[in-house]
Structure 1
Amino acid sequence: MTTFAEVHHPETGSSERPLVLLHGGNVASWMWQPQVAALTDRMVLTPDLPGFGGRVGEDWPGLDMVADDIVARVTGHGVDGPFDLAGLSLGAVTALRVLARHPDRVHSAFLSGAPLIPAGAGVRLISRLQLAFWRAPWFWRAQAMAFGIPQDARALYVAHGLSVRRETASAMSTEVSAGGVPAGIGRYSGPLLAIAGEKDTAAVRQSLAVLAKAAPQAKLRLAPGMHHMWNVENTALFNEILRSWLDGTSDPRLLPVPRD
C-alpha cells in the first residue's frame, strides 16, 4: 500500500484559498493524485478518513465525528480561515456534515456522487454480499471495473480495498445507507455545486434533488458520460471542471439538472 502526503504546498507563493479533498469509500487520499498534480498553485490537503489509507487501523467513529476530525486536522496544518472543499462519494457525504457542523469554515463546496436516498432492500442485500466477499481479490477487481477505474489504477484500488477492515466497511456502509441530508445544512449558505456522473447509479442521480430541497443555492449538474469515480475515469475533464469551480464559474460542459 502506498502512502500519500496529507499536505501539498504550492510550487510558489500563493494567495489562493486552501483546498481540502475528501476521498471516497474503500479508497483513500491517494485517489486524488491526479488532482494534486494539476493544482500546484495552491495548498491542497488530502486527509485520510478514519479507517482508510494511513488510518486503516482506526475505528469508524461516525460521520459527525469524521467531519469534526477533518476540520481539526486542517486547522492543525495552519489553516485557520475558510477553505474550499471537494468530496466524492463518501467524501461528498462527509463534506455535507462539514457544511452542517462548521459552515463558517467552508468558502465553497464541490460535491460529486453523494448517495442521499435511503438504501432499498436490494441495495442492502448487495451490501451484505459485498461484506461476505470482502477478502476476495476478484471482488475488488469487479468493483474497479464497475466504477470505470482505469486499468493502471486498478491494482492499487484492489490492494487498498483488501486492507480496509470489514468492521470499518460495515459501520460506514450502515450509516451512509440510511441516506438523508444532515440537520443543520441550512446553516451553510455559500456556493455549492452538486454533481453526479451521467452514468452513475439512479440513486446517486436522484440524490441531487434531495440535496436541492435542503440547500436551495445548490447548482445541480451531471458530468457527461461519466461513472462514479470520474476523477480517475477522465482526469482532464474532472480537473478542468474543478478548476472552473474554484475560479468562480460552472463549466458549460456540465449538464444542468431540472429542479422538481
Structure 2
Amino acid sequence: MSIHFAEHHPDADESVLFLHGGSVAGWSWTEQAKALPDHHSLLPDLPGFGASAHHAWTDLSTTADELADLVRERGHGGQAHVVGLSLGGVVGTALAARHPDVIRSVFVTGAILQGLRGFARWAGLAQIPLFGSTGYWKTMAKVYRLPPDAVDVFVETGVGIDRDSISRMVPELYDGVPARDLDGLRRFVGPFLAIVGEKEPRVIRDAMSEVTSRVPHAVARLAPGMHHVWDVESPELFHTALAHWLTTGEPSPALLPVAPG
C-alpha cells in the first residue's frame, strides 16, 4: 500500500510537496495549496495519518524514501519544493538529507530536530493513549484555535490515527534525528529556510542550528508573534512568507532575523 496524496493545480509549473504536522493530515494544507495557482501541489497523508492510516509508519528514513519516490513519480521534472511544519518539518529535513536530488528548495518550520527531553517529552508521550478519544481532539481543536469549519475533519483525523504508528513515531521524533542522518544535508545545494515561531519554546529555536551548521547557505528566521501552528494562527502571514519564498528563493521581509546567542 502506498502513501495517499491529493493534488492541486496539476497543470501548473513547479511542484510543491506539503508535509503536515503530527495531529492532522494532508487536508490541513488545502487552502495554502489553492492559494498558489502557479504551483502544482502534492499533499500526502503521512504514514499512519488520514487516508494513509493503514499504511504503517515504520521509521523516519523509510518515510523520507517513500516521499522521494512520490516526488520522482508525480513531481514535475521529478523534483519539488518542500514545505513542512512540525512533524512535516522533521520529515522534510530528512528528505533533503537523504534525497537532495529531488528537492528544489526547503521551507520548514517548528522542526524538533534535537528531540524533546524532560517534562515536555513526558507530557507528549502521556497523550498518546488519549488519541482514540473524540473529546481529546475537540479539546485540541480549541487549543489550536482551529476555525469551526475545520473541527470535524480534525477530530475525525485524530481519532483515525493508527495507534501503532504513533507509538513508534513519537518516541523516534522525541529522541531527535541522529547526527549521522542529518549530515546528509551537507550535500544539499538548494535554498533552505528554517523558521520557528517567535513564541515557540527555546528547544525548537535551538534546533535550527542542526540545519545552519550543515548547510552554510541556509537561512534561519522567526515568524513574528507566532506559536507552533502558525499556519492556522495566521494563514495570511504564512501564505505571504511561503509565496515570497517560492517566487524569489529569499526569506520574506515579513519574517524576522534570528538574534545571535
| Both structures adopt the same fold (TM-score exceeding 0.5) | yes
User: What is the CA–CA distance in structure 2 between the aligned matches of 1:154 and 1:210, rounded to whole Å?
Assistant: 34
User: What is the CA–CA distance in structure 1 between the aligned matches of 2:66 and 2:119, rounded to whole Å?
Assistant: 32
Q: Matches of residues 1-260 of structure 1 in structure 2 within 5 Å?
A: 6-10=6-10, 14=12, 16-77=13-74, 79-180=76-177, 182-248=182-248, 249-260=250-261
Gaps of 5+ in 1: none
Deviation at 1:210, TM superposition (A): 3.1
Deviates more, 1:226-235 or 1:73-82: 73-82
Deviation at 1:129, TM superposition (A): 1.6
- Matched to 1:18, the amino acid is S
Deviation at 1:120, TM superposition (A): 0.9
1:145/1:191 CA distance change after superposition, 3 Å: same
- Matched to 1:254, the amino acid is L
Deviation at 1:22, TM superposition (A): 0.9
User: What is the CA–CA distance in structure 1 between the aligned matches of 2:251 and 2:88, rounded to whole Å?
Assistant: 20
Partner SS state of residue 39, structure 1: coil
User: What is the CA–CA distance in structure 2 between the aligned matches of 1:250 and 1:121, rounded to whole Å?
Assistant: 33
1:147/1:109 CA distance change after superposition, 3 Å: same
Partner SS state of residue 124, structure 2: helix
User: What is the CA–CA distance in structure 2 between the aligned matches of 1:257 and 1:43, rounded to whole Å?
Assistant: 31
Tell me, yes or no, if the aligned pair for 1:29 and 1:53 is still in contact at 8 Å: yes
Q: TM-score, normalised by structure 1?
A: 0.90
Deviations 1:27-54 (A, max 9, x none): 1100001111101122111111111111
Q: Tell me the C-alpha RMSD between the 2 structures.
A: 1.9
Tell me, yes or no, if the aligned pair for 2:47 and 2:53 is still in contact at 8 Å: yes
- Matched to 2:256, the amino acid is L
Tell me, yes or no, if the aligned pair for 2:72 and 2:79 is still in contact at 8 Å: no
Partner SS state of residue 44, structure 2: coil
Deviation at 1:168, TM superposition (A): 1.3
Deviation at 1:204, TM superposition (A): 1.6
Deviation at 1:134, TM superposition (A): 2.0
Question: Which structure shows the higher helix fraction?
Answer: 2
User: What is the CA–CA distance in structure 2 between the aligned matches of 1:94 and 1:150, rounded to whole Å?
Assistant: 26
Deviation at 1:61, TM superposition (A): 1.8
Deviates more, 1:16-25 or 1:143-152: 143-152
Shift >4 Å, 4+ stretches? none
Sequence identity (%) = 37
Deviations 1:134-164 (A, max 9, x none): 2222322332333343343233222211110
1:163/1:69 CA distance change after superposition, 3 Å: same
